[in-house]
Amino acid sequence: MKQIKALLQHNRNTSESSRQSSSRAASPVDTPSPSRTQTANLAAEVPPPVKVDQISPPPVPAAQPDTVGTAGPSMAAPLEGRTHSGAVGPRAPASFYCPISMELMADPVMVATGHTYDRVCIERWLAQGNRTCPVTGMRLRHLELTPNFALRNAIMEWASSNQVTVPHKENRVNASQLYKGGDEETPNNILQGHDEIVWAVEIHDQRLFSASADKTIRVWDIASKRCEQVLEDHSRPVLSLAIADNKLFSGSYDYTIKVWSLDTLQRLKTLTGHSDAVRALAVANERLFSGSYDGTVKVWDVRTMECLQTLAGHTGPVRTLVYSGGHMFSGSYDKTVRVWDVDTLKCLSTLTGHSGAVRALAASSKRVFSGSDDTTIKVWDSETLECLRTLEGHEDNVRVLAVGERYVFSGSWDKSIRVWDTESLECVKVLEGHNEAVLALAVGPSFLVSGSYDTTVRFWALDSLRCVRKCEGHEDAVRVLAVAAGKVFSGSYDGTIGVW
């Protein structure tokens, strides 16, 4: 163990020396060195040295430029291997040795910073809960490990020509551990990757798309729970998502909407025109409606991606959109709901009556429900646009609504969920259990699922309206929920995705 610690300390020193001498070395602020605590923890987790055909860890080298490949960390000049008797063995280029174990790499893989490590060593480092590059100390934007085939082939060719055997290393770390953090008690269904709040999730085929305040959209494979790709093009937090015409649309605080191909996951176009954050997206009749804090709703052709019209009229930020009965409804902080004809794009009516901001809209086939900071829910006929009833009972802001076949559900800052019969519009039950505000609701085939500031996800049976399951795992508020293919997905303020 002392030998490993000494090698790790030496590697830090030589790597730092090499970086300082490099013509393109980053500033200390950009590439901080790992802390002593990180290095000590890493050394404690590194398994006993794996022998490479009588070659023990190489001796202390002189710092020289890297000689093979461009992805591996800058280390020393070709190293000398030593036999058990102390004799000098074949010399390998410095980049062939893992910066963690200082041994020849059997399976070199690259992390997000572009540095290369042996897979076993870096997986152990990540499974311990570390989220930084061991050489640079930089935080990893994602935890994907990319095989460095070019370097692996070079190592194999060198080993063959020097009659050195590179054994296959065992003790692989379960990949799911890389996404659940270092705490062994963290469930393996909590997927890590985002650095900040998850604002929106969308599901398409076997993929989950998550939008975050960290300016990225992550693409997750539902079956494997692995992040396939990180979409990076927005310059500010991503707030909203929508899918149509085999395209993903993302709205952001940077005032733009990015259009991504669902086939290639490449950006197709950037839609501009809004002068403030794009908070809500909805699709109807091959048209994308975008609601913005600038008080407008813009309409885009999903095929040509051209702006068809700007719908003005709101005097406050547009917070939410919902489609019903050939009409698009927009809810605003100006305390109104505006109704737009999807075909003519004319404003048909301005629905008034709320005395607080309208933060939530939900729709059934014939009715639209609006939830407000005034603690009430108003029910509107989606054809006549008349207010059928005002639902009262909540003691604080109504933040979220969800509609099922028999019931409409409302979640509030008063910590409760109210259940309303969709026909009689009477409150049939108050669901209590959360001890903080209810922020998210979604309806499944036989259950309602709720997310709260209390960090939990609760399942409620639709037949009995009783809580049948309480799920823990997030470390901060549960902000968004989605249901698909028998699974529930939750996005949290802590940047994680829960799969239940």
Kindly report the CATH number that applies to the domain delimited by 190-499: 2.130.10.10
Give the start-to-end residue ranges of the domains of the chain: 2-173, 190-499
Which residues are CB-neighbours of 474 under 8 A, at least 6 positions away?
A: 190, 455, 456, 457, 490, 492, 494, 496, 498
- The 3-state secondary structure of 162-199 reads CCCCCCCCCCCCCHHHHHCCCCCCCCCCEECCCCCCEE
d(CA 173, CA 395): 49
| Residues found in the chain | 500
Q: Identify the pLDDT of residue 159.
A: 86
Q: Identify the pLDDT of residue 45.
A: 34
Q: What is the pLDDT along the chain (500 residues), one digit of tens a residue?
A: 344 444 445 444 444 443 333 333 333 223 333 333 333 333 333 333 333 333 333 333 333 333 333 333 333 333 334 333 333 457 788 888 888 888 888 889 898 888 999 988 888 888 877 878 888 888 787 777 888 888 888 888 888 888 887 766 555 455 444 444 334 344 578 999 999 999 999 999 899 999 999 999 999 999 888 999 999 999 999 999 999 999 999 999 999 999 999 999 999 999 999 999 999 999 999 999 999 999 999 999 999 999 999 999 999 999 999 999 899 999 999 999 999 999 999 999 999 999 999 999 999 889 999 999 999 999 999 999 999 999 999 999 999 999 999 999 999 999 999 999 999 999 999 999 999 999 999 999 999 999 999 999 999 999 999 999 999 999 999 999 999 878 999 999 999 999 99
Q: Identify the pLDDT of residue 468.
A: 92
2-173, CATH topology level: Herpes Virus-1 (3.30.40)
Question: Quick check: 77 and 62 in contact, CB under 8 A?
Answer: yes
Which residues are CB-neighbours of 288 under 8 A, at least 6 positions away?
A: 242, 244, 249, 257, 281, 282, 299, 300, 301, 302
d(CA 299, CA 377): 27
CA angle, 216 then 219 then 222, to 5°: 145
Same fold? 2-173, 190-499: no
Say what the pTM is: 0.65
Q: Identify the pLDDT of residue 49.
A: 36
Question: Quick check: 323 and 299 in contact, CB under 8 A?
Answer: no
Of 291, 258, 217, 281, nearest to 491 (Cα)? 217
Cβ burial of 364 (10 Å; 0-12, 13-18, 19+) is: middle
Longest pairwise C-alpha distance within the chain: 92
The first and second tokens of residue 176, run together, are 């799911």
Local structure of residue 8 (DSSP, 8 states) = H
Q: Identify the pLDDT of residue 16.
A: 40
Local structure of residue 326 (DSSP, 8 states) = T
Residue 41 amino acid letter? N
Q: Identify the pLDDT of residue 6.
A: 47
